[in-house]
Structure 1
C-alpha cells in the first residue's frame, strides 16, 4: 500500500471517527435540549389564561357598577360560592365571613383571576386593587405607589396623608426614595400594607377592591385611614372592603356575609330602599360620583417611572476588574480534592498524550516501512523483504496495543475529570448554601433575591458545565501541542521557528482579547440578576398588575432588562467569535508555511516524515486554534466561579455557645438596656429597652406601626446583633448556641410560613411526633375538618391567611416549649377564630411565658404587663388596668379610639 494512501485513509477514518463520536452525539444532545425546551414552553403557553378584559354590558352605563348573575366559582373541585346574584352601584360594601369562606376569592373573581364555572359577571368601571398580603417590588417607595403612572404632586400628597404615611417617611432616612427590598422586609408589615393601599388609592378609579388591609395596623392609624380614606376620599366611589372591623358595619351601605358557599346580603340602615325582597340583590343607591381629573391639576408634573436605570442600581453588584485572582484557581482545585488529586488527574492526561503521540509515531513508521517494502523485491526467499514484513506485523501489533491502551486511558481520564469536577460542584454548592442559610438577616436586608438566584443558577451552571469541558480540552490540548511540536521537530528542526512565531502571535492576540472578554463575561452574568429578580417580583404581584392594567408597563420593563442581558451576552459571544476568527487566520498561515517548507526546501523527505509533519501541523492548527479558544473561555468562565465563591465567604452567624440541659425551666426573661440596629448606619430600632417577665408571665406589646414591636422578638432570637443584655432564666443569651437558643423558643411570626411540602412536614418539620399528636393539634385549632391527609403537598391558595395562622399555631402546640412569642397572630382573622386563638393560648400555654404582639388590644388585656413602644422606645409599661386609668397615655388613646 502506498504511504500517502495510508495517511489519506487514516485521516479519513479520523474524520469519520470525529463525526460519529463527537459531532453526531453533540448534535443529538443539542436537538434533545431544543425539544425539551419547546415542550416546557408549550406547557406554559398552553396554560389556561384568565380573560384580561372583564365582561361589559352591551349598553355602557354612566356610573360604575358590579353585577353577579347566578355566579358559581369552583376551585380544585371545591365550591367556593354558588349561584350568587347581586348588583352594586356605589357606596361602601363591607365583606365579612368566617375563616376560609372565600372573601379574597370573591374580590379576585371580579379581577378575573378565577374562572367562573357558571353564571355571568359584569364589571363596569376602572378597578383598583389592594391585596391582603401587600405586594411591593424592588424599587423606591414612590415608584411602588406610582407604578408607572404620571406623577401628580397634589394627588400624591393627598394619598400620603389619607394613608398616614407622612410620619413613617419622616422616620426613614431617604423618605419616599427609600429602596424597598424583596418582599419589603426592610419595612414593617403596617408600612407595607399602607404603601400597598396607597398604590390603589392613587389611581383615580371607579371601583376599589380592598382586601383586609386594616388588620395589620394599630387602632390609631387604622382609625385615621377609615375616616380620611375609606369614608371621606372614597365616599363617592364604589368600594368593596374585606374587613373584620366591627365599627365599619355602621358606615357601610351594604354588607356581604360569605358563609358555606352562599353570599348573604343585607342593606344597611343608611339606605331607605326596602322594596327589594331578594336576599342576594343589593338595591341601587343614588350615585353622586364626582370624577377628579388628576391630569388637569395645576400641580401636575410629568415624572414617568424610569425603573430601568434605578432598578439596575438596585440589582447592581460590586464590579470587579482585571484577571481572575490565582486564589480562585487554587480554591477551585482544593474543592476538587486538593493538589494531590489534581496531580493524579494531570498524570492521567500525560499518560493519555504519550499513547496518542506514540500511536502517531507508529503511523509515521508504518508509512516509511510500507515505502521500503514497495521498493524491495517481492520474490519468495528475499530475506530483506521478509524482515520488513515481520517488522510491519510487529508494528501493527504495537499500534493495536497503543489504540487499546489509548481507549482505556481516555475512559479513565474522562471518569477522573468527571469525579474531580463533580466534587467541586457539590462542594461549592454545599458551601454556598450553608453560608447563605447561615447568614444573618442583614445579608438578606441588603441583597436582592435576583442576585442570590443568579449566583445559584447561572454562575453555578457555568461551574457545573462550562468550566469542566474547557478545562479538559485545555489540558489535553497543552499535551497534544507539546507532542506535536516534538514530532514535527523530529522531521525538520527548522519548523520550530514558525511554531514559535505562531505562539507569540496567538499569545499577543489573547492578551488583546482578554481585556474585553473578561469584563464582558462579568457583565453577561451580572445583567441576569435584574431579569430574575424582576420576574420573581412580577409573578408575586400578578393580580395587582392585572387590576391596574399595568401588563404593558411590566412587559416593557422586563423586555428592557432582558434586552440589556441579551446585549451583554451577544457582545461577549461576538467578541469571542472575533478572537476565534483571527486565531484561525494565524493558524492557517502556519500550516501554509509548513507545507511550503517541504515543497520548496525538503523535496526528498520520506513520505512518512512528510505525512507526519503535515498531519501534526494540522494538529497544531487544530489544537492551538481550539486551545486558545478554550483558554480564554476557561478564564472568562472562571469569573462565574469567582462570583460563586464570593458566597462562600459570607459572614455566618456564630454557631458556638453553651447548651444547657433542661433549659429553660422557668421562663423568666429580662431585657436590660437593649439596643438593636438592623444596619451599619448606627441608627437603632430599639433604644434602651428594659422590662422583666416573671416565670410563666404574659407580656403584651403594642404601639404604632414601626414602633419596634417585632424587633423585640428579633432581639430575643438574636436575629441581629444587640447591645445590652437579655437573660432567660438568668442566662445571658449571648453565651448560648444560636441553634440551641432558637430551638427552645416557639414563635408564630407575623407572616406565617408554610412550605410547599406535606402538611406533616410543615407541622412537624423535625419528624419527631406521631400522627396522633399531629391530629390532636389540628383538632385543637379546628383544622381537622378540612384536612383529609397529612401526606398531601400544600398547594398555593389552598388555605386562607387565617388558616395558615392556625396551622402555625398547631405547629407550636406540639412542640410544647416553655416560651412562646406570637406576632400579630389574630391579623386577618374573624371574631370566631380570634376567640378560638385567644382561648387556645390561655388554656394550652397557661404555664408558659408568652409574649404577645397585637393591634387588637383585646388580645393583650389579660396580660400581666403591657409594653407600649413608640419610635423604638418604651413610653409606657405597666398592667393593662393601670394603663387604662391614664387618660393621657398612648395605650388609653389606642384602646378608646372611635370612628
Structure 2
C-alpha cells in the first residue's frame, strides 16, 4: 500500500525525506544504496518504528515481520526463537526449517531445536543467527516481511540457497521489502528503489535501471559485479563456524514429498569455540539454574568479611568497641547516680564525683565516635575489596562461564548484592550493635537489682531463641529466593530492549509483557511472603506473645508479693518494670538480628563469586594496580 514517510532523527535532521514508497501485494521490492543512504531507516519506517515528521504517514495492510540487520535472538531454545510466541504448527515449522537450511545445523546440535543458544546467540555463528531470524519471519505467516541485509553473514552459496528456497520460494505471494547491496539478487525483484541521503533517486525494474545512462544503480551494480569476492570468510560467518553448510541440499523436495524431520539426535557440537560440547547437556540446557546456598548464614560470615577487608585486626577492634560501649554507658549512669546520692546525703565532698562523671562521659563519647569511624572504615574496605576481588574473579573465568551465565545474573551480584554490602549492611550493623549493647546492659542490671529476673530472662531467652531459629531460617531462604528472582528481571529487561524493534514489528508486545510480568510476579511472591511472615511474627508471635507473658507475670508477682513468698512488693514492682522494658526491646533486637542475617546472605552471594576457581593459566586481570587498590 502507498506509504509516504519521513522520520526525524533529531530536532532538525530527517533520516528520510521526500519519500514516496510503495510495495504492492506479493511483490519482491529491493531497496539498495551505498552505506548510510537510509536503507535501515526505510525498513524501520515501513514498519512504523520511526517517529514521523508532520505530514508523513505510513499505511500497512496485514501483519508484519522483520529481519533486522543485527539479528535478535533470545536466551532460549532454537525452536522458541523461531516460534517467537506463535502457536506451534509442525508442518509449517518443518517447511521453514528446510527453506532456511537449518536442518543440518539442528542435526549437529546436542538436542536439536530444543538446544538453548545463549544470550544474543553467542554460541552460534552470525549466519546461523540470521537464518534463525529469517525462519522466524517466514513462520510468522505475515503479509509484509521487511528484510534488512539478511544474508550478509552467510557464505555466498548458503545465502543463495536461503534466498531461492525461502525468500523466492516459501514466501512467494508475500510482500517482501529486501534491503541489501548484494545486487546479484536484484534481477529477481519486481521493483527496485535506489536511495541516496535518505531520498529515492531512482526507481524501476532491474532492466530499466540498468539501461539508464549515468544512473547511480547501474554504476553501483557495475562496481559490485566487477569486484571479485576475494575477502577471507568472516570468522562469524557460516563457512567458518558451521562446516555442515557445505553439504546443504541445493534444491527443495519435490511437490508433495514429505519434508525431512527436524533432527533431535545429539551428534557434534556447533557454534563458537567457546561453546564446547561439555557445556551442553543432553537435554539441550545451556544456561543452568542459579545455585543458592542453603542453611543459615550466622555471624561467622563476618570472619571472611574481615579477611576480604584485609583488616582482621580492625574487625577485632570493632567487636571490642561494641562490647565497651554499653559498659561505658553503664559506668556513666552509675557515676551519675553516686553523685546524686552523695548530694542527697549532704556529703561535704560530693563534688569529687564530678570529675569521674565527666571523664566517663568523655570516654563514652570517644568510644561511640571511634566505633562509628571503625565500622565505616571496616565496611568500606571490605566492600571495596570484595568488589575488586569479585571483578577479578569474574574476568578470570573461562568463556564457558559467560556462555552459561546470563548477564543479568552477573549484574545482580554487582548491583543488588553489592548495594546490600555497600549501604544497607553497615547502617544496620551500627543500629544492631547499639541495640544489642543496650539490651545486654538492661538484662545485666535487671538481674542485679531484681534477682527474680534471672529466671524470667532465661525463659525469655529460650522462647525468643526458638522463635528466632524458625523465623530466621525461613527469612534467609526467602531473601535468597528474592535475590535469585531479580536476575531474570534484569536479564529480560535488557534483552527485550535490545529486541524491541523485532517485538513491535511482530506485534508480540503482549506476549513479552506477559513473560516479564510473570518474572515480576515470581519476585513479588517471594518479597510478599517475606513481608507477610515478618508481619505475622512481629504481630502475633511477638507482640501478642509479649502481652500475654507480661500479663501472666504481673498476676504471678501480685500473688507472690501479697503472700510475701520469695519477693516483696518493692522487688515485684522493679521486676515487672525490667521485664516490661526487656520484653518490648527484645522484638526490635529480634527483627534487627534477622534482617542483619538476611543482608549477610548478600555478602555470602558476593563471596561465592569471589571464590570461583579461575581458568587455568589465567593471570589476575586487574594486575598489581587492582591488588594494590584492594588492600589500600
Interval of TM-score (by shorter of Structure 1 and Structure 2):
0.7 to 0.9
Task: Name 2:81's counterpart in structure 1.
Answer: 144
Task: Name 1:554's counterpart in structure 2.
Answer: 512
Does residue 1:465 correspond to 2:461, yes or no? no
1:335 to 287, 308, 311: 308
2:28 to 89, 92, 97: 92
1:409 to 1:84, Cα distance in 2 relative to 1, 3 A: same
Q: Does structure 1 conserve the Cα–Cα contact (< 8 Å) formed by 2:65 and 2:145? A: yes
Q: Does structure 2 conserve the Cα–Cα contact (< 8 Å) formed by 1:432 and 1:644? A: yes
For 1:152-301, what aligned pairs fall within 5 Å after superposition?
A: 152-269=89-206
Task: Name 1:83's counterpart in structure 2.
Answer: 18
Deviations 1:636-668, CA, capped at 9 Å, x for gaps: 3222222111111233345578xxxxxxxxxxx
Task: Name 2:598's counterpart in structure 1.
Answer: 636
1:209 shift after superposition: 0.6
2:39 to 103, 109, 128: 103
Q: Does structure 1 conserve the Cα–Cα contact (< 8 Å) formed by 2:23 and 2:177? A: no
TM-score (norm 1): 0.56
1:585 shift after superposition: 3.9
Does residue 1:359 correspond to 2:317, yes or no? no
Q: Does structure 2 conserve the Cα–Cα contact (< 8 Å) formed by 1:72 and 1:118? A: no
Which 5+ residue runs of structure 1 have no aligned equivalent?
Answer: 1-64, 280-298, 300-309, 374-383, 658-736, 741-899
**How far, CA to CA, are the matches of 1:400 and 1:651 in structure 2?**
56
Q: Does structure 1 conserve the Cα–Cα contact (< 8 Å) formed by 2:116 and 2:285? A: no
Deviations 1:261-313, CA, capped at 9 Å, x for gaps: 322232115799x9xxxx9xxxxxxxxxxxxxxxxxxx9xxxxxxxxxx9999
1:424 shift after superposition: 1.2
1:115 shift after superposition: 1.1
Does residue 1:543 correspond to 2:478, yes or no? no
2:401 to 443, 455, 460: 443
Q: Which structure has the higher relative contact order (CA within 8 Å, separation 6+)?
A: 2
Larger fraction in helix: 2
Q: Does structure 2 conserve the Cα–Cα contact (< 8 Å) formed by 1:587 and 1:624? A: no
1:473 shift after superposition: 3.4
TM-score (norm 2): 0.79
1:169 shift after superposition: 0.4
For 1:626-705, what aligned pairs fall within 5 Å after superposition?
A: 626-654=588-616
**How far, CA to CA, are the matches of 2:185 and 2:500 in structure 1?**
29
Task: Name 1:454's counterpart in structure 2.
Answer: 412
Task: Name 2:248's counterpart in structure 1.
Answer: none
1:574 shift after superposition: 1.6
Larger fraction in strand: 1
**How far, CA to CA, are the matches of 1:432 and 1:107 in structure 2?**
43
1:73 to 1:172, Cα distance in 2 relative to 1, 3 A: same
Does residue 1:501 correspond to 2:459, yes or no? yes
Q: Secondary structure at the match of 1:114?
A: coil
Q: Does structure 1 conserve the Cα–Cα contact (< 8 Å) formed by 2:47 and 2:60? A: no
1:94 to 1:357, Cα distance in 2 relative to 1, 3 A: same
1:77 shift after superposition: 4.1
**How far, CA to CA, are the matches of 1:480 and 1:207 in structure 2?**
73
**How far, CA to CA, are the matches of 1:313 and 1:638 in structure 2?**
30
1:199 to 1:157, Cα distance in 2 relative to 1, 3 A: same
Deviations 1:386-410, CA, capped at 9 Å, x for gaps: 64xx63x655665555444433322
**How far, CA to CA, are the matches of 1:557 and 1:193 in structure 2?**
24
1:511 shift after superposition: 1.8
Q: Does structure 1 conserve the Cα–Cα contact (< 8 Å) formed by 2:311 and 2:378? A: no
Task: Name 1:417's counterpart in structure 2.
Answer: 375
1:208 shift after superposition: 0.7
**How far, CA to CA, are the matches of 1:593 and 1:414 in structure 2?**
40
1:335 shift after superposition: 1.6
Which 5+ residue runs of structure 2 have no aligned equivalent?
Answer: 217-258, 260-282, 624-632
Task: Name 2:346's counterpart in structure 1.
Answer: 385
Deviations 1:665-719, CA, capped at 9 Å, x for gaps: xxxxxxxxxxxxxxxxxxxxxxxxxxxxxxxxxxxxxxxxxxxxxxxxxxxxxxx
Q: Does structure 1 conserve the Cα–Cα contact (< 8 Å) formed by 2:383 and 2:421? A: yes
Task: Name 1:869's counterpart in structure 2.
Answer: none
Q: Does structure 1 conserve the Cα–Cα contact (< 8 Å) formed by 2:288 and 2:404? A: no
Task: Name 1:292's counterpart in structure 2.
Answer: none
**How far, CA to CA, are the matches of 2:300 and 2:151 in structure 1?**
54
**How far, CA to CA, are the matches of 2:331 and 2:549 in structure 1?**
24
Q: Does structure 2 conserve the Cα–Cα contact (< 8 Å) formed by 1:138 and 1:311? A: no
Task: Name 1:350's counterpart in structure 2.
Answer: 323
1:72 to 1:430, Cα distance in 2 relative to 1, 3 A: closer
Q: Secondary structure at the match of 1:209?
A: strand
Q: Does structure 1 conserve the Cα–Cα contact (< 8 Å) formed by 2:126 and 2:153? A: yes
**How far, CA to CA, are the matches of 2:300 and 2:553 in structure 1?**
40
1:254 shift after superposition: 1.5
Task: Name 1:583's counterpart in structure 2.
Answer: 542
1:168 to 1:162, Cα distance in 2 relative to 1, 3 A: same
1:460 to 1:311, Cα distance in 2 relative to 1, 3 A: farther
Task: Name 1:116's counterpart in structure 2.
Answer: 52
Q: Secondary structure at the match of 2:17?
A: strand
Q: Does structure 1 conserve the Cα–Cα contact (< 8 Å) formed by 2:78 and 2:132? A: yes
1:527 to 1:170, Cα distance in 2 relative to 1, 3 A: same
Deviations 1:67-104, CA, capped at 9 Å, x for gaps: 216x3534464332321123331311111112222211
**How far, CA to CA, are the matches of 2:197 and 2:133 in structure 1?**
30
Q: Does structure 2 conserve the Cα–Cα contact (< 8 Å) formed by 1:655 and 1:738? A: no
Task: Name 2:448's counterpart in structure 1.
Answer: 490
Task: Name 1:25's counterpart in structure 2.
Answer: none
**How far, CA to CA, are the matches of 2:555 and 2:608 in structure 1?**
52
1:524 shift after superposition: 1.4
Q: Secondary structure at the match of 2:66?
A: strand
For 1:824-843, what aligned pairs fall within 5 Å after superposition?
A: none
Over the aligned positions, Cα root-mean-square deviation in angstroms equals: 3.3
1:739 shift after superposition: 11
1:625 to 558, 577, 587: 587
Task: Name 1:747's counterpart in structure 2.
Answer: none
1:569 shift after superposition: 1.0
